[in-house]
Structure 1
Amino acid sequence: METRRLTYFMRVAEDGSLTKASGVLRIAQPALSRQIRLLEEELGVTLFTRTARGMLLTEEGEYLRSAIAGPLRELDMALHNIRSMGATMAANFTLGLPPGLTDSLAMPVIQALRETFPNIRLCVVEGATGVLIDWLGRGVIDFAILEESSRNDRLTEERIATLPLVIVGPQSSPLPHHGDIPHSSALQLPLVLPSHHLGVRGAINDVAAKSHCALKISTETDSHRLIADLVAGGSGYTLMPECYLTQKLAEHALKTWSLSRPAPCIEIFLSTRENSKISGRQFSEVTKMISDVAKRQLN
């Protein structure tokens, strides 16, 4: 089987369109369609359902995409490594970040990479911690910054920061200006919170359980930017690490209050795959660079 056809399959699966995929791959649409048909004939299954809205994966197609995403990336990285041995480092890597840390980490990591390894290209994607763990395990991404330990034996991780949660509210809030806020009082505020059960929301759920308090949830969303906008607009309060809301705090759209000790915290980890075949000079040096930048930015 030609790996080229599998690469074409992945592109069509990701774009959901022969037209879009042919543009990215720079091959004619009829030729791409033929390659997909040949792959289906070789496997003896239908990989896509053709509709007026595009190419939809069948159950067999979903299985194939999940099974080959990691191996195809590792093959690509192996070829890059071979070509760059003894030469200037050149490779493509993908870093996954939780939405709350993109503003704090994406630009510093990209800038450091450009300065240190100008021939390495970094792709940055966002996802909730649970999604990033899944992507990392399947080889869709190479590194991930996680908001808690993955608890996955297949992943290697390094703790890079511990971030306390603070109460965040609008400038017009009537809360006292000084003094720590008890956990029980904070949990009774109308809260705008992430919906995902890991990371920040997991830490808040733990505090609620220990305090025997029910959360008073106003809105749930996994967009930290929307959380910041809702809180600034008076829709409630949130519990977040300060570095998640740096821009709004700098604009004086939000205020923060400390929680009584022990303040709830989230631990931040840099995680990679234990059994990655792409480990080597490029991978280890880029891993160290991401770790160093993240520690500098978050501590």
Structure 2
Amino acid sequence: MDLKQLRAFLAVAETGNVTRAARMLHLVQPAVSRQIRLLEDDVGAPLFERERYGMSLTRAGQALAEHARRALLELDRARAEIAGVDEGVSGLVTLGLLPSSIDMLSSAFASAVAAEYPGIRVCIAMGYAGTLLQWLQSGEVDAALLYGIRRSADIQTSPLIEEPLWVIGPPRSGLRPSRPVPLAGLAGRRLVLPSAPHGIRTLVDHACAVANVALDIAVETNALSVQRSLVLGGQGLTVLPPIAVADDLRSGKLRGAPLADPALARTIVLALPAGRPTARPVRCALELLVREARRAVVSGSWLEGRWLGE
């Protein structure tokens, strides 16, 4: 088993096709096929199901893919750190951000890293809290911003921001920040909500169960962009932190009002793996991330956010 085989394997796994994988790797197709055959001979199991319209991972392939991604990521981290060993702080930092906060933080964070630690290379991945937690546990990201999670032996967290949940709708909804909407007021209204077990959906479902409120959920989606599009299209109201649609609220494309009786809020935390040391480049990058998050809250750019960090 060597790096060429692993890279070919992951390329085929991602594209589902040897031809596309060869194009991605700038190789000829027979060379990629040969690397896959050698790898399958080495592990002693087929890694792909050869189907009419492509190739899909077998159970053995799925298991190997998880380890292969981590192995190549660790090598990339090592290369980045070695390449800048004489240039101060250097290395690869992988960070997971939530869809609702990535636009707010990514550019300012990347600019700060480039200005203060040019030897650090940043990789930013977007995902919902459950996905980010899995990546954090598997080592695919060094740190992540998550919704508040339960205490865990393998994850350490620091609370950063508390933000309320608002009812969001199109302009004709008449929603206004000065007029909170009681949870019971959502009964009988068409709603577009995240699919379970999304963190916001869990908060809303729990509050409804306690208050004995039945909701009319017209559409469920696990994509923030689709959620926004459906509300803009008049398919119903939704529940989101205002930062998730800040530009639309400022421009008047969407209207919003705080959710009340009960008021619901979520806490965003900085999460790190508890079982492994945090490398110096990661610590340096996270200091800048926290600084930029605090700056966004204090300046008011992070709508309705309340700073909890030190």
Question: TM-score, normalized by length of structure 1?
Answer: 0.89
The aligned amino acid for 1:130 is G
Q: What is the RMSD of the two structures over their aligned residues, measured on CA atoms? A: 2.4
Report the counterpart of residue 6 of structure 2 in structure 1: 6
> % of aligned pairs identical?
32
The aligned amino acid for 2:100 is G
Report the counterpart of residue 186 of structure 2 in structure 1: 186
The aligned amino acid for 1:287 is L
Deviation at 1:241, TM superposition (A): 0.8
Deviation at 1:254, TM superposition (A): 1.2
Task: Give the match's secondary structure for 1:172.
Answer: helix
Q: Distance in 2 between matches of 1:40 and 1:281?
A: 38
Report the counterpart of residue 286 of structure 2 in structure 1: 287
The answer to whether the Cα contact below 8 Å between 2:231 and 2:238 also exists between their aligned partners in 1 is: yes
Deviation digits for residues 217-240 of structure 1 (CA, Å, limit 9, x no counterpart): 121112222222222332221111
Deviation at 1:261, TM superposition (A): 5.6
Report the counterpart of residue 308 of structure 2 in structure 1: none
The answer to whether the Cα contact below 8 Å between 1:69 and 1:138 also exists between their aligned partners in 2 is: no
The answer to whether the Cα contact below 8 Å between 2:155 and 2:271 also exists between their aligned partners in 1 is: yes
Report the counterpart of residue 159 of structure 1 in structure 2: 159
Q: Distance in 1 between matches of 2:60 and 2:197?
A: 30
The answer to whether the Cα contact below 8 Å between 2:207 and 2:262 also exists between their aligned partners in 1 is: no
Q: Distance in 1 between matches of 2:92 and 2:15?
A: 20
Mapping for residues 223-234 of structure 1, pairs under 5 Å: 223-234=223-234
Deviation digits for residues 240-269 of structure 1 (CA, Å, limit 9, x no counterpart): 111010121122111111233652001111
Report the counterpart of residue 171 of structure 1 in structure 2: 171
Structure 1 portions without partners, runs of 5+: none
Deviation digits for residues 255-288 of structure 1 (CA, Å, limit 9, x no counterpart): 11123365200111122222346x3221111122
Report the counterpart of residue 206 of structure 2 in structure 1: 206
Q: Distance in 2 between matches of 1:272 and 1:178?
A: 38
Task: Give the match's secondary structure for 1:86.
Answer: coil
Report the counterpart of residue 53 of structure 1 in structure 2: 53
Deviation at 1:107, TM superposition (A): 2.3
Matched, 1:73 2:73: yes
Structure 2 portions without partners, runs of 5+: 297-301, 306-310
Task: Give the match's secondary structure for 2:180.
Answer: coil
The answer to whether the Cα contact below 8 Å between 2:186 and 2:215 also exists between their aligned partners in 1 is: no
Report the counterpart of residue 296 of structure 1 in structure 2: 295
Question: TM-score, normalized by length of structure 2?
Answer: 0.86
The aligned amino acid for 2:287 is K
Q: Distance in 2 between matches of 1:233 and 1:3?
A: 48
Q: Distance in 2 between matches of 1:56 and 1:88?
A: 43
Alignment length, in residue pairs?
298
Structure 1 residues 222 and 121, CA, compared in 2 at 3 Å: closer, same or farther? same
The aligned amino acid for 2:226 is L
Task: Give the match's secondary structure for 2:169.
Answer: strand
Instruction: Say which is worse superposed, 171-180 or 36-45, in terms of deviation.
Output: 171-180
Report the counterpart of residue 40 of structure 1 in structure 2: 40
Mapping for residues 95-244 of structure 1, pairs under 5 Å: 95-149=95-149, 151-174=151-174, 178-244=178-244
Structure 1 residues 90 and 50, CA, compared in 2 at 3 Å: closer, same or farther? farther
Task: Give the match's secondary structure for 2:32.
Answer: helix
